[in-house]
A and B are shown apart, each in its own frame.
Chain A
Amino acid sequence: DSGVTQTPKHLITATGQRVTLRCSPRSGDLSVYWYQQSLDQGLQFLIQYYNGEERAKGNILERFSAQQFPDLHSELNLSSLELGDSALYFCASSEDPHGRNSPLHFGNGTRLTVT
């Protein structure tokens, strides 16, 4: 058990809809990362937050947004969903703001299916 909790485990929704994925980081970790794992793109970094502030941005679409709350949990919002957004979305946390010297701890992911 990594200590990172993601909810829900599975999500099935229709095109055009909006969903929110939730992540609770490991106790004591201030950094939260979101990754997307899809068959065609592999594992891609989306965005990082550190102590409530956006720290780094990757290949995140404009239809997607995220935030980290004062209690350090994070939410990833996906809107105007398309079939191609179907993927496994991972959250990871780290105590290190730079993610360089301490490992990322990954949750088990939320599997999103857009129909």
Chain B
Amino acid sequence: GNSVTQMEGPVTLSEEAFLTINCTYTATGYPSLFWYVQYPGEGLQLLLKATKADDKGSNKGFEATYRKETTSFHLEKGSVQVSDSAVYFCALTATAGGTSYGKLTFGQGTILTVHP
């Protein structure tokens, strides 16, 4: 079956530090990969996505590259801000045997706290 594994958190950084949140996956078919962010008290928002191997998704200074050879989709940001404090979820949706699956399989989430 499909699964997503994220690095365990929580992650605590100082403002302007470099961020990496690791994500690896197992999937049948040809997955699309996503990073979603959840701010306190809110629903999940799509941060970025990549739909095929070697694609790079980027948004708001965050980047992630779809690496098929290592089945990874690590999230990076060069300089984090206090406002980036949130929970980050790696997710995939996959097709198998010609049948499309609309459901997302999520990782367990990584709590990021950024201090001034």
Residues of A in contact with B (beta carbons under 8 Å apart): 2, 4, 31, 33, 35, 42-45, 48, 50, 55-56, 58, 90, 92, 94, 96-101, 103-109
Contact = CB atoms under 8 A, between A and B. Distances in A.
Interface in B35-71: 36, 41-46, 49, 51
Interface residues of B, number: 24
29 contacts: A2-B45, A4-B43, A31-B102, A33-B102, A33-B103, A42-B106, A42-B107, A42-B108, A43-B89, A50-B102, A56-B102, A58-B103, A90-B43, A90-B44, A92-B43, A92-B44, A96-B102, A98-B95, A98-B100, A99-B93, A99-B104, A100-B51, A100-B100, A101-B51, A103-B46, A106-B36, A106-B43, A106-B44, A107-B43
Contacts of A107: 43
B34 A98 contact: no
Contacts, number: 71
A104 B109 contact: no
Nearest to A9: B41
A90 B45 CA distance: 12
B105 interface: yes
B43 A56 contact: no
Contacts of B93: 98-100
Contacts of A55: 102
Contacts of A2: 43, 45
Contact of A97 (B102, B105, B108, B109): B102
A37 to B, nearest CB: 9
Nearest to B49: A103
The list of the 10 closest CB pairs from A to B, nearest first, reads A99-B102, A106-B43, A98-B100, A103-B46, A45-B103, A43-B106, A106-B44, A108-B43, A42-B108, A98-B102
B45 A100 contact: no
Nearest to B51: A101
